Amino acid sequence: ETGVTQTPRHLVMGMTNKKSLKCEQHLGHNAMYWYKQSAKKPLELMFVYNFKEQTENNSVPSRFSPECPNSSHLFLHLHTLQPEDSALYLCASSRRLERRVEQFFGPGTRLTVL
């Protein structure tokens, strides 16, 4: 248990659906991250938030829309996804936005797009 929770743990959706992934951290951290892990590929950073402000968008398609209402919660809104978007989506947080600082990961949401 890392103090970072993600819901749902599994999600199956059609290409026309709209769904949201939720991440919550109970660690008092100020930075939060979304990562994507596709089969046989490295973990890829998608978005970074620092004190609720987005500081990085790693060229992510607009069908992925992040939202960070406060430092404890992070959402990833999904709309008109493609089958190749099927992957494990991991949320992480860190005490501050500094690259040496350890990131704490949630268990991930396994997403399947039909």
Encoding tokens for residue 97?
């936005």
Q: Which is nearer to other proteins, 41 or 83 (CB)?
A: 41
By CB under 8 A, is residue 4 in contact with other proteins?
A: yes
| CB of residue 80 to other proteins, shortest distance in Å | 27
C-beta separation of 109 from 8 below 8 A: yes
Span from 14-22, 63-71, 73-81, 105-113 in contact with other proteins (CB under 8 A): 105-113
- Residue 18 C-beta: closest distance to other proteins, Å: 25
Binding residue (CB under 8 A) for other proteins from 17, 27, 67, 107: 107
Which residues sit opposite 34 in a β-bridge?
A: 47, 91
Which of the residues 42 through 101 are near other proteins (CB under 8 A)? 42-45, 48, 55-56, 58, 90, 92, 97-100
Kindly report the CA angle at 86 between 83 and 88, in degrees rounded to 5? 175
Give the whole-angstrom CA distance, residue 76 versus residue 32.
12
Secondary structure tally for the chain: helices H, strands E: 0, 11
Tokens 């939060």, located at residue:
32
Tokens of 31: 């930075």
Residue numbers at the binding site for other proteins (CB under 8 A): 2, 4, 40-45, 48, 55-56, 58, 90, 92, 97-100, 102-108
